[in-house]
Chain A
Amino acid sequence: MKRLLALTLVLLLAACGGPSQPEYHVGTEGVVLSFAHDTPPREVYEDSRIPVLLEVSNLGAWDVRFEDIVVNLTGDPFYVAVQNARMPKDQQPYALDPVLYGKQPGYPEGEFITIQPNVTILNVTGPREQPRTQLFATICYPYATVLGTTVCVDSNAYNQNEQRQVCSATTLTYRSQGAPVAVVSIENRPAPIRVSQSGGRGYVDVVQPTFIVHVENLGTGRVLQPIPDAYSERLAVCGGHITTENLNKIEINATLSGIQLDCQPWPIELRDDKGYTTCVVPPSETSALSPSNYLGALKLTLSYMYQDSTSADISILRRGYVGDWDDYTIPERDDHPGFIEGEAKCEYCQRNPSDSRCDWPDNVNQSRYFQCVCGKEECRDKAPDGECIFGTTWCPGSNYCCVR
């Protein structure tokens, strides 16, 4: 009987807590790209169009404009032809709603959209019975991590003040803020400095609030530095060449009760997905602080680009007879998007640059001599300079159209 009463009391007390508020600024996901609705099928036939549905879901706490998201779908050009591989900004599926909302009171689960590219499985040549290949999808988007917290502004850390204070400087730790990059800890380390007094009255010793902010990439992708709003620049980096200059850099904006903080290093550079910066109240602003300790509002905003990827395996079924090599029918070259009039598109357009079928990228100097001789890595290095076209429709096989 006593146990029943105790259990009832515990249940009642737990119930009296009421429904808890949903937390939106939690989790380590941002905009997630996934293949939806069991697409593509695991087994597909050669020489066929296959259904592919990509779902772009904003599972973090930051809103992203749709036009800022770069999605790219690629496959082995020997087996797969992809059209609408990139989603240019003017192809918005929901023209009236240009923002992909993150988690917030109106969108407790965030928001998602779907993209349906055209994917064709090519005729398979050669004695390949049931080749396997992959569809590889990448997403690149601007994101931000926002942390608003209360910290102790400790003006008495070094003056051995015997008076009681409402708080003291301590280290704060966090798990996540609803974004792939998270602030994991903030070390509160006030430092003594000497500032000059106004009116030429010499110097005064004050305590400068100092915060060491530790950040970490907790997501499954990689961090790129923030890219200006120009879509072409974003496209060039996200879809093309990424160097160490672009990688693992985060811009931070920090304020303490409305006072702008100076942070160094800026931007934050990640090593092994971890990094830190030191943010201080400028000496000229220390006069705005109270001489007694108090709780101040610290707001940190981390800005960056994030790139993530996903893949789907497909197995290609042959339509024709598998056995005698003489029975194979070699498809017309013109059926392959890498060919024009039986010739590789790269070399055809080299000689006929003004042909309407030659959609040269904007940054390419058409007067240079292009040929299908570069590998993937070499093309990535050359693409920003306009010396390689990082696309799957200019050369057959695994080569890329470049200047060498």
Chain B
Amino acid sequence: MKRVIAGVLILAVLLTACGGFRRGNDNQYYDPVRARYFEGHDGVQMFFDQIPPRLFYYGNAPQSAANDFPVSIELRNEGSSYTRGGIFLSGYDPNLIMFDEIPIAMSFPGACSFRIGDWSLNELGFFVQCGDDFTWRGSEENLIDMISFHGITWFDDILGDIDFMYQNTGAGDRWDINFGGMDIGLREHGLALIATLSGLSFNKFLGREYVLAGDTYEYPGGEIEYVEFNGHIINWPQGTDEIDQTFLVTNCYMYTTFAAPTVCIDPQPYSENRKVCNPQVATWGRGQGAPVAVTRVTQENTPRTAVFHIEVANMGQGTVYDAGMLEKCSPYYPGGARSSDLNIIWFPDVRINNRGLDCTPRHFVRLDQSGRGSFTCTYPIEYAELNSAYQTPLVIELWYGYSETMERRVRVKRVT
């Protein structure tokens, strides 16, 4: 009996190693060329690089260099989207510890919020509203400044084709971003999102900004960056020999999820003729290389329309933000983030060929408490006169903000 069990186990291991078992319908979407990049549920991962030790000492001289310590954070974009984000360091007593990069005593201007209006294949409109004491410079200026500051080349091929138009409406400042006749594929995977939200500032609320390319064909393995904070113990409470402090690192970034399942368009769903395809349910077990994933697409065909029900979910360990409210992700934002700022997924790009689909709810979906949501999109069947079913990719791009945290507790002892 024991030999039989052992033999079954060995067989299972061998078959698994050879790829003999597959889950669900992944098999039909498995592309060995693409599979390395558009998989997984990771976005931007962060790690403590040079960390403060769990126990260190404070000397009696407040200005002494012995009371200085660095905090270095390593960032890796392990997903498949271009991203722009900010790192925030908080949770420590500002009367005890000071960081050169975090002037907490400063007063903050109002946050800016971005709300998508309408979009078409080549144009996207959005409203910008900023709080008092903050002057909005304009989307184009912000984009150019960002490209220059970070020295990135991502927009080299498309910057000339991007036009920003401004309109002062009663509902706020409206901006339209026009992508001209450029190939839509050039602005996917986060570039259009970054251009749209180029006016969003992570530095405004004491963050350290970064931009990172994702793990794609152009940047295999994704980009890595290091963010440093220089800390000093500036004061010591009288009568205390030791004190515990907790450093909380918050990573806030904008991200996109790109999925392109192949769907079947059948102008004659009731026909008994032999067809090259039939509408099926598409599922993903491995994600699309982003923390928010398209988990399922179901389809219903009528002679004139194809209706797609798309389900999405937060598969990562962090929190989904409305991308337009990412300034509120900062722990230093007065008032903090409300429930209404969280769990919002925009879907500005749902199309078949170059035709956008009409979706409900319109523009965005709110995830429920379990981190799941869904929306329905309708495609008016083109080429219905063909009377023949055909396969075509359904392009889905989701836009959202994401936030993850990590913390480290240290103990500081006073030495006399």
Contacts and interface: CB of A to CB of B under 8 A. Distances in A.
Interface string B331-345: 111111111011000
Contacts of A165: 91, 248, 331
Interface string B75-107: 000000000000000111111100000001100
A297 interface: yes
Interface in A117-160: 146, 148, 150, 153, 156, 159-160
Given A166-B407, A297-B96, A161 B248 contact: no
Contact of A299 (B238, B332, B407): B238
A299 B240 CA distance: 8
Given A163-B250, A257-B237, A297-B243, A290 B335 contact: no
A299 to B, nearest CB: 5
A167 interface: yes
B239 A148 contact: yes
Contacts of B90: 166, 290, 292, 294
B339 A160 contact: yes
B335 A161 contact: yes
A164 B248 contact: yes
A288 B90 CA distance: 14
B404 to A, nearest CB: 9
B244 interface: yes
A293 to B, nearest CB: 7
Given A163-B331, A290-B94, A299 B338 contact: no
A162 B337 contact: yes
Contact of A257 (B93, B246, B331, B407): B93
Range class of the B interface residue count? 35 or more
Contacts of A255: 237-238
13 contacts: A148-B237, A150-B244, A156-B336, A159-B335, A162-B319, A162-B341, A163-B403, A166-B90, A257-B235, A291-B104, A291-B331, A297-B237, A301-B239
A148 B240 CA distance: 6
A287 interface: yes
A246 B241 CA distance: 34
A106 interface: no
- Interface pairs A-B: 5 shortest CB-CB: A161-B336, A166-B91, A257-B95, A292-B331, A297-B237
Contacts of A293: 91
Contacts of A288: 94-95, 105
A257 B94 CA distance: 9
A24 B391 CA distance: 79
A289 B94 contact: yes
A162 B338 CA distance: 6
B329 interface: yes
A259 interface: yes
Contacts of B239: 146, 148, 299, 301
Nearest to A289: B94
Interface of A: 146, 148, 150, 153, 156, 159-167, 204, 255, 257-259, 287-297, 299, 301
B405 interface: yes
Given A148-B237, A162-B319, A258-B237, A294 B337 contact: no
B72 interface: no
Contact of A258 (B95, B105, B246, B342): B95
Given A166-B248, A291-B332, A297-B93, 15 more contacts: A148-B239, A150-B243, A162-B337, A162-B341, A163-B250, A163-B331, A167-B91, A167-B246, A257-B235, A290-B93, A291-B104, A294-B91, A294-B94, A294-B246, A295-B245
A160 B336 contact: yes
A159 B91 CA distance: 17
Q: Which of B91, B238, B245 has the most CB of A within 10 A?
A: B91
Nearest to A285: B95
A197 to B, nearest CB: 8
Nearest to B407: A166
A258 B234 CA distance: 12
A258 B239 CA distance: 10
A23 to B, nearest CB: 12
Nearest to B96: A257
Interface in B387-416: 403, 405, 407
Contacts of A289: 94
A235 to B, nearest CB: 30
A299 B246 CA distance: 19
A166 B409 CA distance: 9
B319 A259 contact: no
A297 B319 CA distance: 31
Nearest to A153: B93
A43 B280 CA distance: 106
Given A161-B336, A162-B319, A295 B331 contact: no
B367 to A, nearest CB: 13
Interface string B212-232: 000000000000000000000
A258 to B, nearest CB: 6
B94 A287 contact: no
Contacts of A297: 93, 96, 237, 240, 243
B119 to A, nearest CB: 28
A198 to B, nearest CB: 9
